[in-house]
Copies of this chain bind each other. A is one copy, B any other.
Amino acid sequence: MTKTTPSIIIADDHPLLLKGLSDFLIEKGFNLLGSGKDGREAYNLITQIKPDIAILDIQMPFMSGLEIAQKCKGLDIDTKIVLITLHKEKELYQKAQELNIFGYILKEFALEEIENCIKTVTEGVPFFSDKIKELIGVVLIDDSDLNTLTPSEKKILKLIAQDKTNKEIASQLFISYRTVEKHRSNIITKLNIEPKTNSLLIWAKEHHNKLL
C-alpha cells in the first residue's frame, strides 16, 4: 500500500528556503512532483496532482498552510499535510491536531528531521518534532498557574490584556469596579506576580497569546 517513493509537493514563499528544501529532497531521492511559492499555487498543486505528501510553509501569501489544510479537509483528498514553520507556537500545534495535519517541523531543524518525518508520515503515522514537544511541555507547566484561575478571573485577565481599565471592565461585565479590583488582586496572588503597579498589565500583555 505504502509506496517506497511517496509523491511530494512543497511550497514556501522564501525562494531560498524553497530551493534548499527542493534540492535536499531531490538529492535524497524523493519523488518531488512540484513546488509553489504561495498558498494559491500550493492549493492548486494539491488539487491537481493529489500528491501523497504536501510540505507547506505556514505563512504564505494568499493562503496559509493552515487554511490549505482546512480546505483540503472538506475535499476527498488524502494528501498528508506537513507544516514547516519558523515559529514555535503552542496554538499552532493544537490547531494542527484538529485539522488532521500529519507533521509539524521547525525550519531550524528541518534538515535533520525532514527525512525522518516523511518516512513516518508515509506510513500513516503523524510526526511532530521532539523539539516542539519539549517546548509544548515547557509551556504546559507554565500554564499550570493559569489553570488555577476561575472563569471570571480568566475573563477579566483577557480584558486587562486588551488595555481595559477596571472601570471599563466593570461596566462591560455589569459589576462593581471594586469587584474587578478584587479579582485583579486575586489573580495577582494566584499567578505569583511581583507586586508592582503595572505588573499585571505587563503579565497579561506578555502572555496574551495564551489567553485566547
Contact = CB atoms under 8 A, between A and B. Distances in A.
Interface of A: 13-21, 23-24, 86, 107-112, 163, 165, 196-199, 201-202, 205
A95 B143 CA distance: 36
Nearest to A110: B16
10 contacts: A14-B107, A15-B20, A16-B20, A16-B107, A20-B21, A20-B23, A23-B23, A163-B202, A198-B198, A201-B202
B111 A16 contact: yes
Nearest to A23: B23
B24 A163 contact: no
B14 A24 contact: no
Contacts of A111: 15-16, 19
Contacts of A110: 14-16
A55 to B, nearest CB: 11
A49 to B, nearest CB: 22
Contacts of A14: 17, 107-108, 110
Contact of A13 (B13, B108, B197, B199): B108
Contacts of A197: 165
A111 B13 CA distance: 11
A23 B19 contact: yes
Nearest to A16: B20
A197 B201 CA distance: 12
